[in-house]
Amino acid sequence: MTKAEAKARIAELRKAIDKYRYEYHVLDRATISDAALDSLKHELYALEQEHPDLITPDSPTQRVGGKALAKFAKVTHRRPMLSMEDVFSPEEFAAWSARIEKLTEHTNSQLPTPYFCMPKVDGLALSIVYEDGLLKSAATRGDGKVGEDVTQNVKTIDSVPLRLRSPMGVKLPKTLEVRGEVYMPVKEFDAYNRKMKKEGKEPLVNPRNAAAGSVRQLDPTVTSERPLAFIAWDLVDDLGQARQHEEWELLREMGFKAAQAKLCRSVEEVEAFWRALQEKRDTMGFWIDGMVARVDDNALYASLGVVGKTPRALVAWKFPAEEATTVVKDIAWYVGRTGALTPVAVVNPTFVAGTTVQHASLHNLDEIERLDVRVGDTVILYKAGDIIPKVKGVLMELRPAGSQATKAPRKCPVCKTDVVRREGEVAIVCPNKRCPAQDRENALHAARAFDIEGLGPQTVSQMLEQGLVKSAADLFALKVDDLLKLEGFADVSSRKLVEAIKAKTRIPLDRFILALGIRNVGEETARDLASHFGSLEALMAASEEALTQVPNIGPVVATSVLEWFADSDNRDLVASYRKNGIVVGTGEKRAVSGAFAGRTVVITGTLSTLSRDQAKEAVRAAGGKAGESVSKKTDFVLVGENPGSKADDAKRLGISILSEADFLRMLRKS
């Protein structure tokens, strides 16, 4: 990005962020999620770090908290309460650390100083000033310079010492300031809300709001009824400690609660601690939204200084958000196995729900039109139990001038054949039967049906390009010497792949039918066909009438099967499988009795005692079908840990939901 581009983007981001803040704080209307707003601020922050001369005092990054409310007395902080830089991904944390290493002119592989890491409590920041060891005043952060005087309220919090204990061997100065976070423990929050509901009163929204709202009460008796706690995280005054962690110890000795912290000596150790905190997040007893890492050495800490309103020597490493914003660089169209073109948004790398993503699903042209997604747009991405995130919406405020509506391609992006739109279908299709993209997807689909290990998309592409194979059937004629021609293949790896392929020459009938890649014939339909016809010959000879008599098979599938076998290229494919030594088994009869006889079960989430494939197998053995998506035809949805959107679909359609325990009980009964 050029400087001029950065300047323009910074201006747009500031305008949009201010608008969303105004809507949220003044109009009480949340038009964008906290996570998405954070993501925009993060992009702005990163751009300003690259171009520090573009930082202006009115930038949203220079704003620390809310302005002090008029009704509380104002307190000018002895030293400004600064804010922290946020990072989200391991890459961003490593970049922060690299910057520290560079600034401290450090060249060894060891860090210049250990990082002192602690959970980031999600509450309300407070400054508490003691004089001669007695609590004198307490203030909120306010705008960082001037906060609100909440002394009377803070005095009602049990974990705030009213008188400091004297630590061994340290003389306390006349004035001493401690900073930390007020929070409402989750257990207390739940109990308080139960009580409120019982009394018919309005419950509190969440522990973070509860803490902030309780401290900023004009009547201290209200605060005293709220179960609040305080964790200290900073000793402001210099009592002669050389290290941050020593000050932390001192805070404990003075009578403050301090959360579990860790001194980390490498970036890997920091990451491990961050991950451990994330896992413990729900059992900590209070809300945390990330981890704070500080340069442990106080002299280095001070020498690193402050940029804008954020000190360089500490960073907040936030936990992954379910939503993030990014910019669409391109809209690409991928050609699938059946020739259908699927649009995918290619985006600037961003961190969503724990992974860095560069692609987002757009589903189809209708979805693009509904969202009006264009190249250059800033979009909100979200994840819903899927690997590839989806586009939730476009931030119209950030749309560049002169952007063009996204149009469907006229030609296949791979083979340049004119695309067609099948009657009554949304999908745009490349009709070229010899389209290289379709050949590749078909070969990969077959390799999956044959369960061949170690055969990835790149290898298959190379084989097709070099003419080693024309279809999946040719895989079974490959020799070690052939593979040596491919990039990345040596003697051992070639031998291994040839063996892996040769090991799969015997295949059950249903898997073979699946491998053929007939339109509308998935795993379950392939089983129905195999079970009914019993042999490949019988299926190939079946008439339309015979096909429609198969249970669960309608006219659409029947037509697909007939059309497929009527095509001479496809019959040649079957012949070359045979020529290359493939032995197709016979179809097994479906179990007709059992707990799930005639029922369809869809599985979502992770099960603790069974893999997904084992659960599907159990459903089939009990006479049922394992469905892939939830529809009105679904009888049960088996819901495991971290279920996807299928669980919501089930609720919406009123389909019976089974827990893993229910499922196992039903199986045992049958």
Q: Which residues are catalytic?
A: 120
Q: Is 430 annotated as a binding residue?
A: yes
- C-beta atoms surrounding 499 within 10 Å: 11
Interaction between residue 415 and Zn ion (CB under 5 A): yes
Regarding 412 and contact with Zn ion (CB under 5 A), the answer is yes
415 marked as part of a ligand binding site = yes
Residue 488: alpha-carbon gap to chain centroid: 32
Contacts of 461 (CB under 8 A, 6+ apart): 440
Helices (H), 254-319: 267-280, 298-304
Phi, psi of 324 (to 5 degrees): -155, 160
Cβ(665)–Cβ(612) below 8 Å: no
Estimate to the nearest angstrom the gap between the alpha carbon of 352 and the chain centroid: 4
Residues in the chain: 670
> 264: which 2 tokens?
């980390």
Shortest separation between residue 337's beta carbon and Zn ion, angstroms: 12
Q: Report the residue from 345, 430, 602, 655 that binds Zn ion according to the rule CB under 5 A.
A: 430
Q: Is 416 annotated as a binding residue?
A: no
What's the distance, Cα to Cα, between the start and end of the chain in Å? 64
Interface segment toward Zn ion; rule CB under 5 A; list 114-122, 180-188, 208-216, 405-413: 405-413
Q: Are strands 636-639 and 583-584 parallel, antiparallel or unpaired?
A: unpaired
> Whose Cβ is closer to Zn ion: residue 163's or residue 421's?
421
Based on the shown chain and the rule CB under 5 A, indicate whether residue 435 belongs to the binding site for Zn ion: yes
Please indicate if the annotation marks 168 as binding a ligand.
Answer: no
Rg (CA), the chain: 32
**Shortest distance, CB of residue 559 to Zn ion, whole angstroms?**
23
- As a whole number of angstroms, the distance between CA 640 and CA 650 comes to 13
In angstroms, give the least distance from the CB of 415 to Zn ion.
3
- Binding mask 529-568 vs Zn ion (x if CB under 5 A, - otherwise)? ----------------------------------------
Would you call 238 helix, strand, or coil by DSSP? coil
666 sits near Zn ion (criterion: CB under 5 A):
no
Distance CA 403, CA 400 (A): 6
Least spacing, CB of residue 432 vs Zn ion, in Å: 5
Q: Taking contact as CB under 5 A, which single stretch among the options 3-11, 406-414, 440-448, 539-547 is the one that binds Zn ion?
A: 406-414
Between 428 and 542, CB nearer to Zn ion: 428
- Residue 427 contacts Zn ion per CB under 5 A: no
Q: Which of 425, 418, 380, 417 is nearest to 398 (CA)?
A: 380
Which residue number, 415 or 664, has a Cβ lying nearer to Zn ion?
415
The smaller minimum CB distance to Zn ion, of residues 273 and 333, is found at: 333
- Residue number, 444 or 542, with CB nearest to Zn ion: 444
Residue 435 annotated in ligand binding: yes
Query: Alpha-carbon distance 143 to 642, whole Å?
Result: 40
Q: Minimum CB separation from Zn ion for residue 444, in Å?
A: 16
Please check whether residue 370 is in contact with residue 393, taking contact to mean a CB–CB distance below 8 angstroms: no
> Which residues face 637 on adjacent strands?
602, 657
Shortest Cβ 464–Zn ion spacing (Å):
13
The 8-class DSSP code of residue 424 comes to T
| 412 is an annotated ligand-binding site residue | yes
Q: How far apart are CA 278 and CA 622, in angstroms?
A: 40
- Least CB distance to Zn ion at residue 566 (A): 22
Question: Of the listed pieces 64-72, 225-233, 269-277, 408-416, which binds Zn ion according to CB under 5 A?
Answer: 408-416
Helix boundaries (H) for 338-478:
365-371, 436-449, 457-465
Separation between Cα atoms, residue 416 and residue 158, nearest integer Å: 73
Alpha-carbon distance of 524 to 510, in angstroms, equals 9
Piece of 256-264, 298-306, 369-377, 425-433 that binds Zn ion (CB under 5 A): 425-433
How many chain residues interact with Zn ion (CB under 5 A)?
6
Find where tokens 């003389």 sit.
171
How many other β-carbons are positioned within 10 Å of the β-carbon of residue 454? 12
Query: Of 91-99, 401-409, 426-434, 465-473, which part binds Zn ion (CB under 5 A)?
Result: 426-434
CB of 435 to Zn ion, least distance (A): 3
Stretch that binds Zn ion, among 38-46, 255-263, 313-321, 428-436 (CB under 5 A): 428-436
CB of 314 or CB of 414, closer to Zn ion = 414
Nearer to Zn ion, 430 or 561 (CB): 430
Q: Which stretch binds Zn ion (CB under 5 A): 79-87, 137-145, 434-442, 468-476?
A: 434-442
Q: Select 412 or 472, whichever has its Cβ closest to Zn ion.
A: 412
Q: Which is closer to Zn ion, CB of 83 or CB of 438?
A: 438
Contact criterion met (CB below 8 Å) for 12 and 18: no
Residue 141 labelled as part of a binding site: yes
Binding-site member from 414, 464, 472, 647 for Zn ion (CB under 5 A) = 414
For the bound state, the minimum distance from the C-beta of residue 439 to Zn ion, rounded and expressed in Å, comes to 10
Tokens describing residue 298: 């106080």
Question: What residues have CB less than 8 Å from 641, skipping those under 6 apart?
Answer: 605, 606, 607, 608
**Could you say whether residue 428 binds Zn ion (CB under 5 A)?**
no
Q: Hunting for tokens 């500080």 — which residue is that? A: 294
**How far, rounded to the nearest angstrom, does the alpha carbon of residue 429 sit from its chain's CA centroid?**
31
Least separation, in Å, of the C-beta of 375 and Zn ion? 22
Q: Is the dihedral of CA 441, 445, 447, 448 positive or negative?
A: positive
Residues 268-307 that bind Zn ion (CB under 5 A): none
Which residue of 140, 432, 462, 471 would you call a contact of Zn ion, by CB under 5 A?
A: 432
- 129 half-sphere exposure, CB direction, 13 A CA radius: 17
Kindly tell me which of 340 and 515 has the beta carbon lying closer to Zn ion. Answer: 340
Q: Binding site for Zn(2+): residue ranges?
A: 412, 415, 430, 435
Q: Binding site: residue ranges?
A: 83-84, 141, 181, 318, 412, 415, 430, 435
- Catalog residues that contact Zn ion under the rule CB under 5 A: 412, 414-415, 430, 432, 435
Q: Binding site for NAD(+): residue ranges?
A: 83-84, 141, 181, 318
